[in-house]
Amino acid sequence: MSWYVYMLRCRDNSLYTGYTDDVDRRCAVHNAGKGAKYTRSRGPVAVVYREECPDKSAALKREAAIKRLSHAEKEILIAGHAEKEPS
């Protein structure tokens, strides 16, 4: 089973970082208003970053590392990731 760290862009342009084993399902939960309290009043949200991790422990550690980044640093991470996405 793969685990992922993901970032969502909220309606107010803020970023939410989490981890899951199914990013698309988790985004749908956030958009249904049943996800994290943070995203409930900031929806709809869109996935702007996902990173596959080898296991849950690695995903949790990467999530913590990303959460320590500034908003500007997160935007750089997202921009770098977008360049690698296939067209």
Mean pLDDT of 18-40: 94
Give the sheet arrangement for strand 46-53, strand by strand: 15-20, 3-9, 46-53
Residue 35 pLDDT level (bands cut at 50, 70, 90):
confident
Please, are residues 85 and 50 in contact by the beta-carbon 8 Å criterion?
no
Average pLDDT (28-37) is 92
Name the domain count of the chain: 1
pLDDT tens digit sequence for 39-87? 999 989 999 999 999 999 999 999 999 999 999 999 999 998 766 665 4
Own/partner long-range contacts of 17-21 (Cβ < 8 Å, ≥24 apart): 17/63, 17/66, 17/67, 17/74, 18/63, 19/53, 19/56, 19/59, 19/60, 19/62, 19/63, 21/56
Q: Which domain holds residue 67?
A: 3-84
Question: What CATH code is carried by the domain that includes residue 48?
Answer: 3.40.1440.10
